[in-house]
Structure 1
């Protein structure tokens, strides 16, 4: 097949370009069909019970999206502060710009007002005395603890947002909320107010990312252009790789649209990964093309020879890289499965373009040009050549120390990696210099993490027995010794009934029905959230968790109590499909983190195994397969050692870098091994001369590819978004590790193996 590609690029280059153009037009159509989404459902495995419970509840009452206004002051329980908070609540509820946006506003005065008669007619001294009297009661103090700090110098106004509104409208009205808060703050000198919440943080971080991208993307392009120009000293040689990569990206996005895969923020990582893999293909093709041109071959013959030689190595790297990304298909997570599919498709497209379009363009460009006398650089005399010569001498004279040293470093990294944790603090994913993020940190310092878990209860939920049992479940969860400071509050139909009746449960059915009717009239929004159907009720638990491990612990506590209550044989059902019917973001995150890390680990191990098997088949030797997989295993081992040394935890972004390490490492490995085999076995050179030729030829292309990709990731590491910055830092390190493995360790291993074979 490659032979046919090669001949087409020489004999019918314009036809090849025309065919690429037709495919591109079709893929552009596909790209126009791509939809963007930030909906959480797109990220979730729909077969998880926690996801099913969450979807059922949110389909009935809408997602629980809370915005918060943090109010700080010397004492927020004074009469003036109390009245200002009520004024803020009323102003928010009656603001015409926030109509349909606000479902409910909650603040600590809500728990006091029904116990203070005619508070408007009281003097400030009388009102303040009554406030202090009520807050001194343990029950009210407990109820307001998640809204009023212990020192009473901070309070929260929580705003339940109508999450069923379109995303653009949510963002616009969140801006209106910020404007109203700022205006209110300016008119109340004794209070300091700031906004936070998921919508606020999303709004502000998106704006910051847009500003970063407007600088970082052009900077990355400039870095690539400079490195490619330094490598080839020709402007068109910087443009051709961009053309191949750009078309490959368009084709990949076209497949995304044609396959109906919505674009999410997860797929932003596809761009640098495809860039890192794809730039390698084009640089190797250009490098071999100029090598053949230096041997007085015509443009067409040079292009053909490039495809027939380097094209084979590129095809092997493409296959192994596609296998590596394809192994992501074993994941439970839809985005990771689709990420693997799209990355594999992108690699395939760039391979096709690098072995068809690029040779055709080179043939047309240089067909009528005479070969220039010589390039200014002379191998062995320029700086790159001198560096490669030193590497060459090192692999020959010090191969044993190199291999032993690599083994020792790997052993130390493995030991360091044993201390890695998978605990994720979600604060590390957000930029701390954004106001809403900084405010959220303050909220967590005052009140702990703000998360909600849902419990779905079915059956006779409005009977006295059912309500009593639900109340018992709430208390058992909150009083569990493991939940101290973790599960802080709960909300249920029983709690609302007790609140409305002063703490007593109605004695008979008729009284209970009367209370429920009154609640429907007075608190319709709350009733809608607590009683979603006549036989379905929801219990909400407030969870103060900052890491996935804390969320996992809270989820285990709730589930264990639900399992106990399920065994009572009452008229209530606490299960869905045989599992505790609990959902909400902390439970889903706990479940996902419990499966995503093993899933990605298995994917990476499977990828390494498949790569080793394929290399063994290609080179017809198990030992060569193991040697070929060496740079990949070294890069991964050193990556995990670096994580341990830096004190970073193992998370999803790090595992994405591991996928990059496999893709880049395999590319470098196959090019070095394939060229060594060609020079040693096919051209009959001695192992030392074969290694010398390999390092001086392929080494240049690998250095250029590595420098380009590392440069891009260093630029990304300047991002103000912590996950992007860390991704860039770690990716640059891992590519450097793969480079060292491919140009230093692998040649030493190949040379040692070849000399052993010749004995």
Structure 2
């Protein structure tokens, strides 16, 4: 105890010597430090990459990159083209050709597919020899456009892919070049990260991880800039044709670009609006310019120092952590309000007190409660680090560091500034906020029973609502309905086969391959006795689709024998398995366009007018033109690893879409009905990554809230040395956090990456108010041991500061309604609602519980 008192004495002496006695030196030093930090903000960057939107150390990302490289299936952009004239008219086709050619010339575009250049296979049906000799497209002279339209609407290849069911809208697919260097750098970095997580890296490996991470970050930044530039170029091209057609753009890189644009806009608009409101509140409440300038200086210095530091070390804000700026402003603002209100109270009590003593007394009174308030809020944000979601983790760390910086600056900037500025006269000028807050205390005194019943009802409704809470989100719902991105995604989703991709990777069963190869080697060659032209006669009927191949016939010399298929998946057995699963996928209401080797299998069946055997399949494959192979086979088959891919798009606007259930339904069918073994079936794609993140949200919500409640209760027990006080303080905030989660469940707002942080924020900030109230109540109670009078005095003093900060928080977060990003709007409104519930609970339920349980003793 003696050591603690001595430490307190030395700290008090050091603080007075540094801040109170040398305010000019301290203020000058902080200004210089802030300017240095501000220069770093020129390097400020935002991040909306895959790393910022997925789970940390999610092995699914590495698998997706592996598959993308193996099948050379990179990112893509999709345009919807709805001409004003008939889509098959010369005018519309010519416009589409001009648009197609311009898009094909954009740097980074590997290929462009549209209805004018895809091979026509059913308009009319032709033999393979004819197909190989010349590929017909919509631009081929003399083509029957009515027949082409029917092919686009009904063929297994193009149905739900190129033309909308009403025949008015066509899709243009821009396949972007696969960035193999990006994939290799990311996989190398992730492998080292995973090793570092599971075991200790050597010094050389640690250096390698640091080097690779830095190089990848630079490369990713450059790549993101190129992607954004490409999107803008495509938009510029599209703009030239908007007078002739309605054209919307979609795709992952376009979503990323728009999200960054929205974040930047929110930072500027929300930040400026919040600052303006803070100025108004300070001027309205205190009516003295010093109490406007000093709190704003502390807030702006905190944000500038943090943003500058983050920029210097290149720690980037994401969709989630972009809210860190607004939250830090509000948190620091709350601390300044508490300090200013206490200073004005002491000044009014003793106007003749020396300024240095007045400032020191203010610091003594407010340092401990503000310290514990900051600490409890830090605990709330530190809990987010457990989420496993990279942007949520970053958000938690940024807020933790920011609160430490903000707390220090409040107790340096305000006291130093008050020492520099003239003391002035104590002023109140008819502030009626005390009368308002005392009404709440009277409500607790005379209507406490009703408060308890309302609180109990809120708990019941919250539990009911939380039971309905879901984590399913749709990309299209992230954007306002009148935005280009929403309109484009909606058209693609509803009319052109869905938006979110899911790949099913099938590995051949090793035992099946071995048996097939052995059987093929041992069996007698069925064509050994057949020579020359007899091969064709024996193998095919009179409508032989290969009859016109002539000298190109690989079997015409009579010496070729049938061999085992190069891939199990291009055999009858393999294709039958694929076709069965493919057919099942097409039957699912959530699934749009499905593409696999089943498509070329159906084509072969149609050309041959019947089922083919393995030999005929091999002949067919060898006779297909390279264009058709690139379109129908190569994206779905890798021979050397005996692997095939089924790719599908999910219709996100499907009512009651459950991603996890959809994946499990497909897996169960593949294992029980499709004849696959568990080790053969793998899932990847954006749907898998996004679903992993969504499923983690609910689990992390429970775990983080539990950690917050337990940690804060322990801290309250240390501060007040009473379990009863800790319980009373945390209960209103548990109800507030539960109320907002319950309300989300009742009105159908799902958890997402932004709303999942609300509960922790509410508890952290709400307990901050509870600590301030309890600390003041204990002081007031010590004067006369009267609980009721202590409650009224507490409401008239610290209750005013709670009222000021709560109004600022509620109105401040409501400003996010100005955002173009729907999750930001939800985040702002729900946080404002939760903080309103928290302050009402702190001014009604909290004092009622104190009056009931009497935690400070029996009283009078």
Short-chain TM bin: 0.7 to 0.9
Q: How does 1:112-191 map to 2 (within 5 A)?
A: 112=120, 115-116=123-124, 127-131=144-148, 134=151, 140=155, 143-162=158-177, 164=179, 166-184=223-241, 186=243
User: What is the TM-score with the length of structure 1 in the denominator?
Assistant: 0.86
How far has the Cα of 1:205 moved from its partner? 6.3
String of CA shifts for 1:454-499, please: whole Å, max 9, x gaps.
2345579983423346534533333338952333443346755875
SS at match of 1:110: coil
Q: Is the counterpart of residue 71 in structure 1 residue 79 in structure 2? A: no
Q: 1:208 to 1:333 in 2, by over 3 A?
A: closer
How many residues matched?
A: 735
In structure 2, the residue matched to 1:219 is 273
Q: How does 1:171-250 map to 2 (within 5 A)?
A: 171-184=228-241, 186=243, 192-200=246-254, 203=257, 215-250=269-304
Q: Is the counterpart of residue 342 in structure 1 residue 398 in structure 2? A: yes
Q: 1:161 to 1:133 in 2, by over 3 A?
A: closer
Q: Is the counterpart of residue 454 in structure 1 residue 503 in structure 2? A: yes
Q: 1:261 to 1:560 in 2, by over 3 A?
A: farther
How far has the Cα of 1:621 moved from its partner? 0.9
How far has the Cα of 1:232 moved from its partner? 1.5
In structure 2, the residue matched to 1:487 is 591
In structure 2, the residue matched to 1:557 is 665
Q: 1:410 to 1:465 in 2, by over 3 A?
A: closer
Q: 1:517 to 1:667 in 2, by over 3 A?
A: farther
Contact 2:697 2:756 in 1 (8 A): no
Q: Please identify the structure whose Cα radius of gyration is greater.
A: 2
Q: 1:311 to 1:662 in 2, by over 3 A?
A: same
How far has the Cα of 1:314 moved from its partner? 0.5
Q: How does 1:421-570 map to 2 (within 5 A)?
A: 421-457=470-506, 463-468=566-571, 471-480=575-584, 483-492=587-596, 495=599, 512=618, 515=621, 529-530=635-636, 534-535=640-641, 537-546=644-653, 549-560=657-668
String of CA shifts for 1:174-231, please: whole Å, max 9, x gaps.
33333434444545xxx64443444445556665665666554333221110101112
How far has the Cα of 1:661 moved from its partner? 0.8
String of CA shifts for 1:735-756, please: whole Å, max 9, x gaps.
1111111122212222333389
Q: 1:376 to 1:128 in 2, by over 3 A?
A: closer
Alignment partners' CA distance in 2, 1:303 and 1:472? 83
Contact 1:456 1:582 in 2 (8 A): yes
In structure 2, the residue matched to 1:747 is 847
Alignment partners' CA distance in 2, 1:206 and 1:755? 50
Q: Is the counterpart of residue 410 in structure 1 residue 459 in structure 2? A: yes
SS at match of 1:441: helix
SS at match of 1:618: helix
Q: 1:34 to 1:186 in 2, by over 3 A?
A: closer
How far has the Cα of 1:337 moved from its partner? 1.4
Alignment partners' CA distance in 1, 2:406 and 2:574? 59
String of CA shifts for 1:499-519, please: whole Å, max 9, x gaps.
589767997789849946976
SS at match of 2:421: helix
String of CA shifts for 1:38-63, please: whole Å, max 9, x gaps.
21133322533432221223355363
Q: 1:555 to 1:122 in 2, by over 3 A?
A: closer
Q: 1:208 to 1:268 in 2, by over 3 A?
A: closer
Q: 1:672 to 1:527 in 2, by over 3 A?
A: same
Q: 1:111 to 1:388 in 2, by over 3 A?
A: same
Q: How does 1:6-17 map to 2 (within 5 A)?
A: 6-7=15-16, 8-17=18-27
Contact 1:67 1:200 in 2 (8 A): no
In structure 2, the residue matched to 1:253 is 307
Alignment partners' CA distance in 1, 2:33 and 2:167? 66
Moved more, 53-62 or 520-529: 520-529
- Structure 1: runs of 5 or more not aligned: none
In structure 1, the residue matched to 2:100 is 92
Contact 1:228 1:708 in 2 (8 A): no
Alignment partners' CA distance in 2, 1:19 and 1:640? 44
Q: 1:356 to 1:122 in 2, by over 3 A?
A: closer
Q: 1:314 aligns with which of 364, 370, 375?
A: 370
Alignment partners' CA distance in 2, 1:224 and 1:739? 18
String of CA shifts for 1:104-157, please: whole Å, max 9, x gaps.
324386252675576789887x71354366468x6x156323322333233322
Q: 1:345 to 1:203 in 2, by over 3 A?
A: closer
String of CA shifts for 1:625-645, please: whole Å, max 9, x gaps.
000112311211221343345
In structure 2, the residue matched to 1:395 is 444
Q: How does 1:245-284 map to 2 (within 5 A)?
A: 245-257=299-311, 261-284=315-338
How far has the Cα of 1:284 moved from its partner? 0.5
How far has the Cα of 1:734 moved from its partner? 1.3
In structure 1, the residue matched to 2:416 is 360
Alignment partners' CA distance in 2, 1:514 and 1:664? 69
Contact 2:78 2:250 in 1 (8 A): yes
Q: Is the counterpart of residue 286 in structure 1 residue 294 in structure 2? A: no
Moved more, 390-399 or 192-201: 192-201
Alignment partners' CA distance in 1, 2:468 and 2:728? 28
Alignment partners' CA distance in 1, 2:138 and 2:703? 65
How far has the Cα of 1:648 moved from its partner? 2.6
Q: 1:274 to 1:322 in 2, by over 3 A?
A: same
Q: 1:16 to 1:473 in 2, by over 3 A?
A: farther
SS at match of 1:326: helix
RMSD: 3.7
Alignment partners' CA distance in 2, 1:96 and 1:439? 20
- Structure 2: runs of 5 or more not aligned: 1-7, 125-133, 180-221, 514-564
